Structure 1
Amino acid sequence: MTHRKRALVTGAATGIGRSAVLALAGAGYDVALIYASSAAGAQATAAEAEALGARALVLQCDVSDDTAVRAMTRTVDEAFGGLDALVNNAGTTANWKVKDLESLDLAEWDRTFAVNVRGTFQVTRAAVPLLRKGTLPAIVNTASIVGLRPGPQPLPYAASKAAVVNLTKTLAWNLGPDIRVNAVAPGWMEGDWMERMLGDKYDDLMGKRARSTPLRRCVTADDVAETMLSLLQGNRFVTGEVVVIDGGFASST
């Protein structure tokens, strides 16, 4: 019997996480789906993964809590006996009024960094022993185009994604040659996240962005998952890199 590969995806309930889970399931992986609060979304995604032939393990975990992270990875190890792939996708953001620095709540700043940066590190650190049991193990982190260039996004979110970019490169140096570590940096992405960020301006601003993009549309969660899967399964001599997924927008402006 062919051995199924094993993956862990954080922020797995919706959006990029959901698409990553389904891409991995379709490629022959059993998947541990980690979620923070969207239990119903995680269960729905797990059901979709199981329909593709995967074994799906659903676990709740706040990735900013190292004790919880250690317990979660122990459970995954007991169930799967190791990992071949890790997708660090869990993330959050802060509220603010554009260009109004006083509108930022520093508690939200701290929470954003706790989840997006420390959480990425803590999950990676706890998963390393599992990945070392895997075959050609690899990690993909979710960064963002806002971590590479300025924009109207909340300062803590943009700064945290810049930290994820650096963390990706530093982890690649520390975990090589056994474990590869790369990141993806999506541009403006269709879906619920940007709808919340842009509000009633969503259709207008996304349309303008699409028209200014060489590929004439904005990125989707499935686009991101496709690149993640490529970095996990192939690109065997690529590590410490950040792949921009924006249809060529950044290079044409």
Structure 2
Amino acid sequence: MTSRKKALVTGGGTGIGRSAVLALARAGFDVAINYASSAKAAQAVAEEAQALGAQTLLLQCDVSDDAAVRQMLAKVCEAFGHLDTLINNAGTTATWKVKDLDSLDMDAWDRTFAVNVRGNFQVTRAAVELLRKSKETGGEPCIVNTASIVGLRPGPQPPPYAASKAAVVSLTKMMAWNLGPDIRVNAVAPGWMEGDWMERMLGDKYDALMGARAKATPLKRCVTADDVAEVMLNLITGMRFVTGEVVVIDGGFTSST
């Protein structure tokens, strides 16, 4: 029987993280599922992954806390021994009134960068040794980061969120340079995505604005979490000569506007 590969997904309880966990489980991975506060959701996705044949490991950790991150990776090492894949998906945002810069809370700005950027780096740094263990045994380890279309072009999202995702794009390229040739590092940049995140961003305008965006998109719908997970899985299981790249997932909207 072929041994299952091992993965860690941060922010794995909901949204893109949840879809990524399930896509990996279907593809033959055991999955460590990190979450910060969504314990119930993380438990539910762990049970779904187990039903697909995966061994799972639930890990509560704020990725902005370096000591906690290192403890988390020690638990992954104890349970799995190595990692074939890391998906840096944990993220947060701030609130603001669109185009009202004074409405931004600077503590929320700092928190957004602490999770989205420093957390990404800290988890990557702590996981490198486990990823290299995969390489030593013939594996092809890789990292996929969750960026965003607003890290590449302007949008109505809060400036700290957009700027943090631009930093993730830069960090992806820097980590690809630093970790090659042993570990590939790529990112995905979803466009407007159906679900809770955009509902919170758009409020009572969600249906109207998402409908307008879908109409203006060549593929005539907005992206889903499952769409993003599908691209992540392709970057993980194939595309073996691709690193330092950011894949836009928006149904062609960017290229048509």
TM norm. shorter chain > 0.5: yes
* 1:206 aligned onto 2:210: yes
Structure 1: runs of 5 or more not aligned: none
**Which aligned pairs between 1:186-205 and structure 2 lie closer than 5 A?**
186-205=190-209
Cα displacement (A) at 1:40: 0.1
Q: Which residue of 1 aligns with 2:61?
A: 61
Name the aligned partner's letter for residue 217 of structure 2.
T
Query: Partner of 2:113: helix, strand, or coil?
Result: helix
Name the aligned partner's letter for residue 195 of structure 1.
E
Runs of 4+ in 1 over 6 A off after TM superposition: none
Number of aligned positions between the proteins: 253
Name the aligned partner's letter for residue 176 of structure 2.
A
Q: Which residue of 2 aligns with 1:93?
A: 93
User: Cα RMSD between the aligned structures?
Assistant: 0.4
How many angstroms apart in 2 are the aligned matches of 1:48 and 1:54? 9
How many angstroms apart in 1 are the aligned matches of 2:203 and 2:98? 14
Cα displacement (A) at 1:244: 0.0
Query: Partner of 2:251: helix, strand, or coil?
Result: coil
How many angstroms apart in 2 are the aligned matches of 1:234 and 1:252? 28
Q: Which residue of 1 aligns with 2:156?
A: 152
Q: Which residue of 1 aligns with 2:187?
A: 183
Cα displacement (A) at 1:168: 0.1
Query: Partner of 1:126: helix, strand, or coil?
Result: helix
* 1:139 aligned onto 2:143: yes
Structure 2: runs of 5 or more not aligned: none
Query: Partner of 2:242: helix, strand, or coil?
Result: coil
Provide Cα deviations, 1:207-246, integer angstroms capped at 9, x if missing partner.
Answer: 0000000000000000000000000111000000000000
How many angstroms apart in 1 are the aligned matches of 2:185 and 2:109? 26
Cα displacement (A) at 1:3: 1.1
Name the aligned partner's letter for residue 82 of structure 2.
G
Cα displacement (A) at 1:170: 0.2
Identical-pair percentage = 80
Instruction: Compute the TM-score of the two structures, normalised by the length of structure 2.
Output: 0.98
Name the aligned partner's letter for residue 54 of structure 2.
A
How many angstroms apart in 2 are the aligned matches of 1:52 and 1:3? 15
Q: Which residue of 2 aligns with 1:37?
A: 37
